[in-house]
Structure 1
């Protein structure tokens, strides 16, 4: 991949028109770039704040060719974009980041966990599952409770089922549609952490402070950052993030979700090859937020500073919680980030708020 920086006035393409694409587009515009969105939904949240949107499926050959021709660099906002589409863009000579390897690795949980362990970023024990018989054998090996997940496509708690007794095996396999899966041993963790990191094509790496996360129903509710953590824990998270970035020859921002065990050990839960919900705190806690950082990495600019100047509590607003916006907009210690979505469905991420808790 080229390492020379693209000048302001260049065009950045983004596969995906949701809230992450919207915030990426806003960051790119602030740096002087034009943005083209490819998304199948006309008038997408990202499309409405960008120079142009191509309305087409992510695997549409003509749309991908048009995107590649009209953009100096291309990135994506979520990991379920077809890896073949990214390969097609890269094969045509487009500057694409992150690359197909990162995307294909993150799209398959078995491949992902195998890569992580090989890279020195340990995970819980796991087993690949294709049939009910595979699942029964895996339960015997890993023990219970254990978490069954589809190998592909699951997010925000979807495509998952807990197995707490042998009688749950067939029900759990049916609950995920009998699809190829992974069984993960339960992690006896004391808290969930995450680290947001970035890498340029020349190998430069920048890592943000740890965030501490709380989930409900498989969906992130809050992140507090910087998390209270020892220097050793911070250093280990930095080491894990760097090993992942270098192992994937990664370019861009990545989110790494971690389990902290009682003895301080960090295990990787999963990676997200993109800007990440747990990094939204950086918008109001850092000089260079994760969205600007991703754009900088993709277009070859120097990476920005990652030190926190404020401690932030980020809270997702789901569904009709968006109706709280008048009160939140009036709060002196809150900054409101709205996603421009028309319909407030139950559980849908509509916005987030960053509450300033004081200096970092």
Structure 2
């Protein structure tokens, strides 16, 4: 089957069985699809809605067994070993292709890719020793952000360096891994562009989402039509997707600065900042990801009114407290409560013309008072 072909495949394998895998399956069942997941965690919440193979991501016997069960494979977690996806790709089609994951997993390679494609980035330097950290800090200036090149997410694996005395302590914490030092970006907003590219190269873009983080974890996303930076975000995202002949959903996170958009990172998968699309768009990011990888026509990304997504971290509020709010749609992930864990989200969808930011503030203020 060639890259632009349409498939009537009905069985999709998902590497990773967290909430993203769960939501992919829930979006796919109305389309007549079936799912099988692989995850090392026997309690992974995706296992509540689809058959789950409990195995390490690099367990070749388990991967081969999964490939025999399905028609194609996707992934919901960007820290899957690239070698595991390449092993699968010798047996079954894998989308997105492993090459994009190989770049996205390494912050240095990712920044170099952005620069190659003419996408602005913070100034950066690779760091492999404490001496190189000192030299990079002197070159870039402080404040700066020291990050592991691999395996960091939700604020993990990074430290803000504000003064020279911070360098030695930061090296003690992160110095066991390959690192990158990035200039600190003074920004007005953090925004993300969620986009979809099909096998035939067709692309559609969701409205730009404005994101707010707490402790490095996404707190809320607000999506409204007509953002003045939409066209620029689409341009940068298109460059990446075409460069990799990408298939599926991708999220591109940016900082808005006085000079425009500065790239933060890509996520080659469905993304937390696109959860609002389940109720807030004509076609959700999850349904569109499945359409893309199957070679089916992509769905409309038009807003249905206006929408915002609120993450629940650690524990869920009482269901009755949430359902009293008009326009609120609750998604509980079936996870146990734990500090820092994403256990659910709510989409607040309201008609156009209603003051959505004000309604969102009332909601968040009320929840934080309880």
Same fold (TM over 0.5): yes
Deviation at 1:177, TM superposition (A): 4.4
Which secondary structure state, in structure 2, belongs to the residue aligned with residue 193 of structure 1?
Answer: strand
Which secondary structure state, in structure 1, belongs to the residue aligned with residue 52 of structure 2?
Answer: strand
| Among candidates 279, 287, 292, match of residue 284 of structure 1 | 279
After superposing the two structures, state which structure 1 stretch, 33-42 or 175-184, moved more: 175-184
Which secondary structure state, in structure 2, belongs to the residue aligned with residue 124 of structure 1?
Answer: coil
Unaligned runs of 5+ in 1: none
Which secondary structure state, in structure 2, belongs to the residue aligned with residue 166 of structure 1?
Answer: coil
Which secondary structure state, in structure 1, belongs to the residue aligned with residue 188 of structure 2?
Answer: strand
Deviation at 1:114, TM superposition (A): 0.4
Q: Aligned partners of 1:324 and 1:177: how far apart in 2? A: 42
The number of equivalent residue pairs is: 352
1:256 lines up with 2:260 in the alignment = no
Deviation at 1:70, TM superposition (A): 1.1
Cα gap change, 1:304 to 1:182, in 2 (>3 Å):
same
Q: Aligned partners of 2:118 and 2:350: how far apart in 1? A: 35
Output aligned runs, 1:329-348, within 5 Å. Answer: 329-341=323-335, 343-348=336-341
Q: Aligned partners of 1:5 and 1:228: how far apart in 2? A: 33
The aligned counterpart of 1:5 is 6
The aligned counterpart of 1:21 is 21
**Residues 296 and 303 in structure 1, CA contact (< 8 A), matched pair in contact too:** yes
Cα gap change, 1:25 to 1:214, in 2 (>3 Å):
same
The aligned counterpart of 2:238 is 242
The aligned counterpart of 1:112 is 110
**Residues 136 and 181 in structure 2, CA contact (< 8 A), matched pair in contact too:** yes
| Among candidates 242, 267, 288, match of residue 272 of structure 1 | 267
| Among candidates 349, 352, 358, match of residue 359 of structure 1 | 352
**Structure-2-length-normalised TM-score:** 0.92
Output aligned runs, 1:142-291, within 5 Å. Answer: 142-226=140-224, 229-230=227-228, 233-263=229-259, 265-291=260-286
Q: Aligned partners of 1:331 and 1:260: how far apart in 2? A: 32
Q: Aligned partners of 1:227 and 1:280: how far apart in 2? A: 16
Deviation at 1:288, TM superposition (A): 0.4
Which secondary structure state, in structure 2, belongs to the residue aligned with residue 292 of structure 1?
Answer: helix
The aligned counterpart of 1:310 is 305
Q: Aligned partners of 2:304 and 2:18: how far apart in 1? A: 28
Q: Aligned partners of 1:166 and 1:59: how far apart in 2? A: 41
Computed over aligned residues only, the root mean square deviation of the Cα atoms, in angstroms, reads 1.3
Cα gap change, 1:208 to 1:319, in 2 (>3 Å):
same
Cα gap change, 1:227 to 1:131, in 2 (>3 Å):
farther
Q: Aligned partners of 1:144 and 1:300: how far apart in 2? A: 47
Unaligned runs of 5+ in 2: 354-370
Q: Aligned partners of 1:43 and 1:174: how far apart in 2? A: 34
The aligned counterpart of 1:72 is 71
The aligned counterpart of 2:342 is 349
Q: Aligned partners of 1:308 and 1:352: how far apart in 2? A: 19
Deviation at 1:43, TM superposition (A): 4.4
